[in-house]
Amino acid sequence: MKKRVLRVGLISSYVPKKCGIATYSRDLIEAMNDRGDFDWRVVAAEDPSESHDYGDRALAVIKKDSLESYHVAAKSLNAWRPDVILLEHEYGLYGGEWSDFKKDGIDFHVPTGNYVLELINRLTAPVITTLHTVLTDPGDARRRTINQIDKRTSKFVAMTNDTRDVLGQDYGIKGSHVAVIPHGVPQADKQDRRVILEKLGLREDRFYMLITGLIGPNKGIDVVIRALPKILSKHPQVTLLVVGQTHPDILASAGEAYREGLLRLAEELGVSNALQFVNEYLPTERLVDYFTIADIYLTIHSDPEQSASGTLAYALGCGLAAISTPYRYAREVLADGRGFLVPFNSHEAIVKQANELIENTKLRQQTRKKAMKYGDMMSWPIVAEAYLRLFQEVITEDKVISEYAHDKTATITVL
């Protein structure tokens, strides 16, 4: 008998949209597709100004601020009759109300993304929700959105144990309702470093520090540039590679002003020759090439609440020694000697840690070995297998509940 094909509906941003969640979703789908009998369709979330071609796998497109598009998407998904729905959740992906609240003396005006409830509450298949942002003390409106998603979700997926704990402490969600599945990572091919350097047009005699991802002020690139003079004074062979396109939202509102400001800062500090931008949104295989040739990875995010980072996950997957600010995702994945944490907004701390890693080859190699071992557990095939097991668990549980609900003879015995 032929094995039944698993049908999965995906709600997410999706490639060719340039965002981390779109890339994550594509990589996860491809990895699951490699594991066996699998079929999928996507409901793609995009901003009002966007119009991407998602190919024949797209059932519908959600226009972020169009409530009607969520209703149409629900009808399209139900008509396709998936076995399970996978919702990729990030507040800013979906439209709806905005919330004003104060935290640590700072006023916030943030999206709640509550329009997604108009979609998932109309679906007939069980829903699994992967949470890409989980905030401590999120404010009443954002907490309410997650709690309402919880009512329609068979299982949440968190990427770290810390995130699962926060869901319990700040949202009242039971740990048994949360599966921890790490952010997936590609595995670097065993290529000669010199061959990759030549392909990328880079020199063999340089020591490369790397920053990747969509470029914006939250990346702390200016802090790293301020660290360069004292690093170069001891290690003139260092080059800082900044690989990535400016974030589309920043491009739309301010153009390349931030990147141009970084170039001016480097010139003022006399380190322009040690700074190289690769202003492109690269496909995964080319991005992995940069991870492969790098000596140190830098992730100097300014947001202590960041609960996931695809770029840091990639660095671990490629076995890189990483220097990071202590945001929540980094604190967990770089523990036990897998990387190094430096205080927020401290270029002096970056100088000290980078110089130590450059000078101490043994420490760098030990760190890389630990990072690689941890990254192996995050490879896309392992992550895909975990998701597929979770799908089957939720589908089976949903069938049992449905059969019980429709069994008119079923009774409950109270002891």
* pLDDT tens track, the chain, 415 positions: 456 799 999 999 999 999 999 999 999 999 999 987 899 999 999 999 899 999 999 999 999 999 999 999 999 999 999 999 999 999 999 999 988 877 777 777 888 999 999 999 999 999 999 999 999 988 899 999 999 999 999 999 999 999 999 999 999 999 999 999 999 998 777 778 999 999 999 999 999 999 999 999 999 999 999 999 999 999 999 999 999 999 888 888 899 999 999 999 999 999 999 999 999 999 888 999 999 999 999 999 999 999 999 999 999 999 999 999 999 999 999 999 999 999 999 999 999 999 999 999 999 999 999 999 999 999 999 999 999 999 999 999 876 655 533 343 332 222 2
Q: Are residues 242 and 359 both part of a single domain?
A: yes
Q: Are residues 128 and 208 both part of a single domain?
A: no
In a domain, 1, yes or no: no
In a domain, 12, yes or no: yes
Q: Are residues 50 and 149 both part of a single domain?
A: yes
Instruction: Compute how many other C-beta atoms are within 10 angstroms of the C-beta atom of residue 101.
Output: 15
In a domain, 346, yes or no: yes
Instruction: Compute how many other C-beta atoms are within 10 angstroms of the C-beta atom of residue 378.
Output: 21
In a domain, 323, yes or no: yes
Tell me the CATH number at 71.
3.40.50.2000
Q: Are residues 19 and 141 both part of a single domain?
A: yes
- Domain that includes residue 360, residue range: 193-376
Q: Are residues 398 and 326 both part of a single domain?
A: no
In a domain, 263, yes or no: yes
Q: Are residues 169 and 123 both part of a single domain?
A: yes
Count of domains in the chain?
2
Question: With left for phi above 0 and alpha for psi between -120 and 50, is residue 139 left, alpha or beta?
Answer: left
- What is the rounded CA–CA span in Å between residue 239 and residue 74? 50
Q: Are residues 49 and 101 both part of a single domain?
A: yes
Torsion of CA 244, 245, 249, 254, to 10 degrees: 120
Instruction: Compute how many other C-beta atoms are within 10 angstroms of the C-beta atom of residue 17.
Output: 20
Q: Are residues 245 and 295 both part of a single domain?
A: yes
